[in-house]
Structure 1
Amino acid sequence: MAIRHLTSIKDLSDDEFKILVDRAAHYKALFKSGDSAEFQKNHLKLLGRTVALIFTKRSTRTRISTEGAATFFGAQPMFLGKEDIQLGVNESFYDTTKVVSSMVSCIFARVNSHDDIKALCKDSSVPIINSLCDMYHPLQAICDMLTIREKFPADKRLKVTWIGDANNVINDMALACLKLGMDVAIATPPGIEMDASIMAAAQEVAAANGVTVEATHDSKAASKGAHILVTDTFVSMGEEYAKEAKLKQFQGFQINQELADLAAPDFKFMHCLPRHHEEVTDDVFYGEHSIVFDEAENRLYAAMAAIDVFVINKGNFNNLQ
């Protein structure tokens, strides 16, 4: 059976993605139960194995959640930062991938380019879990859908509004929402457009599921009636040199009370963190509608789901143990 990697939500069928969210919910319930017998049973699944974390970018939630998930299943997490191994210094991507994958059960990769993820997948002998690249962030999408599921009735038709940059987070989140039957509105500043291939895939999923996806440069119009308002950093890691210009470009795209007043009365605010003040005001970020810390915690259960499906069950969605 060919190795299944988790590279993006786009690569998953609707049913496969739903299963990942279901598994995240399952492991959250189990983890919260404190059932020692279940803990021991799951701890044996990868006992004596190693899970590698190849991270070329800083991390808080991704590192903690991945190490926690690996430990839950009995594996030893091994963090390999850019200062810890020879990757990119004295050793090629190919050589590093061949060596690391020969000694571990899977590799969580938090890297700069999606080309790096593709190179890892091409040459690895174990599953690669994309833990962030410049194009996708699938673990965040799993976590976000679990968080939304917890806050709204299953039969409620939801509108999710993204206000901010056209980046890796919304690329996967838009497809995730559409796969679960939610409408999506994306508002980016003038001059910033969504990736054409992502929008084409999104429109295809939307048509198949009877929902809508729209891209606009009008943050107020996109916010009207939204059940979820969500944003992310305006200046991604590696773009600090352009911070002043980007902040000017994003004027009018801060989520504040003016935009919140346009949303549905029961709206929720989400942000994958870390947060900066130019993206959202304190009254929204820390207010009664914010679910950012529930969202952050759910990264742990998203990582558990990924390990469960892609490592323990070898990418077989139809026969989960």
Structure 2
Amino acid sequence: MLFNFRSLFSTRNVNKISKHLVQRIRYRHGPPSETPVQLKGRDLLTLQNFSAEEIKYLLWVSADLKERIKHRGEYLPLLQGKSLATIFEKRSTRTRLSTETGFALLGGHPCFLTAEDIHLGINENITDTARVLSTMTDAILARVCKHHDLELLAKEALIPVINGLSDSEHPIQILADYLTLQEHYGSLNGLTLCWIGDGNNVLNSIMLSAAKFGMNLHIAIPKGFEPDTMVTKTAEEYSIKYCTRLFRTTNPLEAARGANVLITDTWISMGQEEEKQARLKAFQDYQITMQIGKVAAPGWTFLHCLPRKPQEVDDEVFYSPQSLVFQEAENRKWTIMAVMVSLLSDYSPQMQKPTF
């Protein structure tokens, strides 16, 4: 009995139980704000697992860190002494750079691991990898091919796991998108987003979160390239719950009509190279141009998570004043910093909470 009691309260089990139980905007300066949101120890695999208030909190921390560090020049070593394992099965520019520079800026030490370094699930199974990394680092950010591998990694790890991209979702990209729109429009509630392109992981993350901010979503996708049916069902439930509109069509002009934000992404994701010609043919009428912008709402803007190909959006739109793509790219840094700070510390934003 004594042995079983000690086993139950071993360091590993206590950490495991703890982990799963805990699972320039116009701001006014002031004292640290009180918030009931507690994210320390949680995983971030999908925005579906986060409430509206929790996602808003992450954006609040993002804007707070950006203001304090970038605009006010403060030094905030909030993650001093902590280390982060970054696993990249797929190559990356923005995810890797924003994570490494952001974690270092906060005083921590990022450790970069490629598929050649770690062989996730090949030379060593995912369970063993998760347990080893849990003893040497404080968090894991993983960019993987299969979302299931990410879920298994999070299940076995004793430390927070962050989805740096999977075949199912790209939640940290969407946080950057929302911060960018919050900065530009001053509020997200009531905006109409228009997605024109493939039913991919980026769209899945938008569908699982936009309605939580009171945003409508118009989607134009050619037949055969629709998003996951379970994601669509959940998005429909959210649209009813949050009183927003979810509109789907195969006609880009219909989707763009009255939209505040036009969004697209690559038509050919990593691993889909063999489908290139078929995809280019299927999406040939889905390029975002000023002609499509004419039916959008006055003051419309454009987002693309990059890298971009001209067939997805022409130069006139991509380099226009309507395009927020480079501000969006920079915000990948501030939002991933907010995620890491929120999952690894008890930090409270110093700025007043914005109106979302």
User: Could you tell me the TM-score, scaled by structure 2's length?
Assistant: 0.84
CA drift of 1:233 comes to 0.3
The match for 1:317 is none
Kept after mapping to 1: 8 A contact 2:194/2:218: yes
CA drift of 1:272 comes to 0.2
Kept after mapping to 1: 8 A contact 2:180/2:328: yes
| Per-residue deviation, residues 70-94 of structure 1 (Å, max 9, x unmatched) | 1122110100011122434421112
Alignment map for 1:105-144 (pairs within 5 Å): 105-144=138-177
CA drift of 1:174 comes to 2.5
Alignment map for 1:75-154 (pairs within 5 Å): 75-154=108-187
Q: Distance in 2 between matches of 1:123 and 1:116?
A: 11
The match for 1:18 is 56
- 2:86 aligns with one of 53, 56, 62: 53
Kept after mapping to 1: 8 A contact 2:182/2:188: no
Q: Give 1:162's aligned amino acid.
A: W
Unpaired segments ≥5 residues, structure 1? 315-321
| Per-residue deviation, residues 95-120 of structure 1 (Å, max 9, x unmatched) | 21211121000000000111011111
Q: Which runs of 4+ in 1 moved over 4 A?
A: none
Q: Distance in 2 between matches of 1:23 and 1:48?
A: 21
Kept after mapping to 2: 8 A contact 1:194/1:215: no
CA drift of 1:22 comes to 1.1
- 2:272 aligns with one of 216, 236, 239: 239
Q: Distance in 2 between matches of 1:34 and 1:200?
A: 44
Q: Distance in 1 between matches of 2:294 and 2:219?
A: 18
The match for 1:319 is none
1:222 aligns with 2:255: yes
Q: Distance in 2 between matches of 1:87 and 1:110?
A: 11
Q: Give 2:120's aligned amino acid.
A: L
Kept after mapping to 2: 8 A contact 1:145/1:176: no
| Per-residue deviation, residues 246-283 of structure 1 (Å, max 9, x unmatched) | 10011111111221111112000000000011100000
Alignment map for 1:300-315 (pairs within 5 Å): 300-313=333-346
3-state SS of 2:308 partner: coil
Alignment map for 1:164-203 (pairs within 5 Å): 164-203=197-236
CA drift of 1:156 comes to 6.3
Alignment map for 1:273-292 (pairs within 5 Å): 273-292=306-325
1:8 aligns with 2:79: no
Q: Give 2:137's aligned amino acid.
A: V
Q: Give 2:147's aligned amino acid.
A: H
Deviates more, 1:188-197 or 1:84-93: 84-93
> Residues 75 and 275 from structure 1, CA distance in 2 versus in 1: closer, same or farther, beyond 3 angstroms?
same
| Per-residue deviation, residues 262-315 of structure 1 (Å, max 9, x unmatched) | 11120000000000111000000011110000000000011111111112249x
Q: Distance in 1 between matches of 2:234 and 2:67?
A: 33
3-state SS of 2:194 partner: strand
The match for 1:35 is 73
3-state SS of 2:168 partner: coil
| Per-residue deviation, residues 133-157 of structure 1 (Å, max 9, x unmatched) | 0001110111111001111142862
3-state SS of 2:120 partner: coil
Q: Distance in 1 between matches of 2:237 and 2:54?
A: 17
Q: Give 2:43's aligned amino acid.
A: H
CA drift of 1:46 comes to 2.2
Kept after mapping to 1: 8 A contact 2:181/2:188: no
Q: Distance in 2 between matches of 1:34 and 1:77?
A: 25
Count of aligned pairs: 309
Q: Give 1:211's aligned amino acid.
A: T
Unpaired segments ≥5 residues, structure 2? 1-17, 21-40, 348-356
Q: Distance in 1 between matches of 2:124 and 2:99?
A: 25
Q: Give 1:117's aligned amino acid.
A: L
CA drift of 1:158 comes to 1.2
